Chains A and B, each alone.
Chain A
């Protein structure tokens, strides 16, 4: 049976099918084996993906935590070659066959996130034909075979999987039900792109599938997330999120034949009690749970008056709820073996620029005033130490999430003297400097403290003025480009206000009296406001 790929009929058909499978077997009675692979690289004619391996890690974590897959039965392959994938699959098949011989019921799950093109999965420079993989899954010695493929072609403005227009990638193109116990999920229909998003730091499909598996898809409230629940959840969210994208709406597909075997429970929330509970009194809306690295680990669609619970690894998370004109953000800690409860009163209002999501999403702007002290490594008779005041303009999440494009202008001054090499004494002068720079930095948010590092290029105008009685020309000037590196820490201390401490190391080339190459360091601080 093949479910249509679009519209509400998908969900209805799936639910009907699920109800018809009255002999559902308890998930814990299955021996579950999983092969999870993610490949950011798709070889020639493809652009590297950003989140494919991250998506694979996420699914691996969920399956081993609440998916009933023992750690030794889960194989995670990141950027692996096709032969490595097929070898690992063979090993799992052998293990499944052995389990069947012992009388166990078995389920084999294969998840892949990456590129696909011309009817084949792309793993770096190698490929695995989809037909062959499907046939392999069909014949696998497991009672239930589940394939989840998050892959397709490229799009326009949002990052998509694949690169150019090509024959449709289609995992399941016919509706023949000749593979007993075979289920295949795909992230998009045969003529669609699958899309990644910086906002959620992952692919839409895997992100929503993962959120559903963590518990948000448990609409029945029985503490289990079934395949049909997970798919329906992922379908709705993926279509909704991609409807307005330039690549067009993305419709996940579902193809299965589980006749006689019942619906498959993918995650058993009671397996691991730690997580976060959203009490019924919590305001409705979409909540994002962000880990310490700024990644969205789960998205929860909280309805008014309904309680929600999701499974999370122990750790600290930032909670974000987006309102029309601001964010509500806060921090929760999930401890091992315990379920924490979200306390709305501990959330605070914050501007959009304080978005804790690493994916940063939309570009935001901040400005700041700073001061710095600069010293050259040698050649101080030419370039004395100086202090400067500056203005900075920063575009956050500009090229991509957690990258920052910074424009700065600083005016500084100092005093120095030219020592005479022929004669005695020295000639005093006043040193001035104008620097116009631009930096690209990447950031690693840890709550309110955000370390950053990057590169900087500045255009410098260096000048000095003498007593005209001593040096008739009066002034000298030099202009040059100076590349360098910058590193520092930004601390958000109140609302949009933040303070920055940073160190710049720059290279300088001098070629007037002679060719010289040296560097200088600049220690600075800034107070800024993010809009």
Chain B
């Protein structure tokens, strides 16, 4: 009898020594929800406007005529992909990292990593999220709200400390779960200067992005991109009711013909839309252009004085002039 009991106790002690643990954490859920999802910073639209900074029409586009395939539609798809890729860069890091367990858990802090940076061998990344008061809207009279500050830090694997300026950082003010508003800054120039490759960002210097997914508010995304030549593109996206939406481009560039361009692209739920472009400053200041397309992305109306093209019927446009 004694040997039976002894054996059972030994087995129990041995198993008990294996301890307990896991990732069962309420706080992890909250912290992980503080970073933006891809859908938060992706323009949800059947069509994106992609007017380039170099002119009134998309590069490589041919002259348009009534019922031709809309070149604006084709080129803006490419531009939209670029915008998504820009946001997707840091969102991809966040998504990949937060699938793992945090390596540091304190009541107000979670840290994931460090992880190897697959895009830059020899470099590693970590994500740190701190629960703290944040103020997204500097004009908010209520001042800071309970929220989160997060940052993606980076360093060479041989280094002992993280770079002073993080790769990306952000603020998040939660509303309901996964609904809130946030700011994101990607410090491209500083990262490039540190020596870590940033191939996807070409000559960009900094990316600032704001998003608002709060319930009762339209889904908006604001993107502010500056390149090393101090050219600047600001893009504002607003998702409107019934699936319609609009993008507003405010482009400051070095082209003397149009040092500042404003473009507004709107679309309806069936993908029919209208784009209006105006040169605000430059030698062509005062010039404007309009293109409308139907639900099949065919030109329904085009008026481009620079190209000397006017065709179609303006009354077919789903939106009126601004």
The answer on A and B forming one complex is yes
Contacts of B177 in A (CB 8 A): 420, 423-427, 470
A420-B174, A422-B146, A459-B15 given; A481·B20 CB < 8 A: yes
Please name 16 pairs of A and B residues whose Cβ atoms are closer than 8 Å in the assembled complex, sorted by A: A398-B4, A399-B1, A399-B5, A419-B26, A420-B176, A422-B131, A427-B33, A438-B12, A470-B178, A471-B32, A474-B99, A477-B23, A477-B24, A479-B21, A480-B22, A481-B15
- Taking the closest CB of chain A, its distance from the CB of B15, in whole angstroms, is 7
A513 touching B105, Cβ below 8 Å = yes
- A466-B29, A472-B32, A512-B105 are contacts. A479–B20 as well, Cβ < 8 Å? yes
**Known contacts A399-B4, A400-B1, A457-B12: A512-B25 contact under CB 8 Å:** yes
CB-CB under 8 A for A512 and B5, given A420-B177, A422-B146? no
* Chain B positions within 8 Å of A459 at CB level: 15
Interchain CA distance A481-B17 in the complex, whole Å: 10
Among all A-B residue pairs, the 4 with the closest Cβ atoms: A423-B174, A478-B24, A478-B22, A480-B20
Interface residues on B, range: 35 or more
> Beyond A423-B180, A472-B95, A477-B24: 11 further Cβ-contacts under 8 Å?
A420-B30, A424-B176, A425-B176, A457-B12, A470-B33, A472-B37, A472-B99, A473-B28, A474-B99, A477-B23, A481-B15
At the interface, yes or no: A373 with Cβ under 8 Å from chain B? no
Interfacial residues of chain A within 150-199, with CB under 8 A of chain B in the complex: none
Whether the Cβ atoms of A418 and B1 lie closer than 8 Å is no
B60 within 8 A of A: no
Residue among B23, B24, B131, B174 making CB contact with A382, cutoff 8 Å: B24
Contact residues in B for A419 (Cβ distance below 8 Å)? 26
- For A399, what are the chain B residues with a Cβ–Cβ distance below 8 Å? 1, 4-5
Query: Does A514 lie within 8 Å of B180, measured CB to CB?
Result: no
- Pick from B15, B20, B101, B131 the residue with the most CB of A within 10 Å: B20
Interface contact B24-A464, CB-CB below 8 Å: yes
A513 to B39, alpha carbons, bound, how many Å?
A: 29
In the complex, the chain B residue whose C-beta lies closest to that of A483 is: B16
In the complex the two chains form, what is the Cα distance from A418 to B101 in whole Å? 18
Judge whether A509 is part of the interface by a CB distance below 8 angstroms: yes
The reply to whether the CB of B52 lies closer than 8 angstroms to some CB of chain A is: no
In the complex, whether B147 has a CB less than 8 A from a CB of chain A is yes
- Name the A residues within 8 Å of B120 (CB-CB): none
Residue of A nearest to B131 (CB): A422
Q: A residues within 8 A CB of B12?
A: 438, 457
B148 at interface (Cβ–Cβ under 8 A)? Answer: yes
A12 within 8 A of B: no
How far does the Cβ of A480 sit from chain B's closest Cβ, in whole Å?
Answer: 4
- Closest residue on chain B to residue A462 by CB atoms: B24
The answer to whether A509 and B29 touch across the interface, beta carbons within 8 angstroms, is no
The answer to whether B23 touches A473, judged by C-beta atoms less than 8 angstroms apart, is yes
Whether A478 contacts B20 by the Cβ 8 Å rule is: yes
Taking the closest CB of chain A, its distance from the CB of B29, in whole angstroms, is: 5
Q: Is A271 an interface residue (CB 8 A)?
A: no
**Among the interface residues A398, A418, A462, which one has the most CB atoms of the partner chain B within 10 A?**
A418
Contact residue among A438, A469, A476, A514 (Cβ-Cβ distance under 8 Å from B28): A476
A421 within 8 A of B: yes
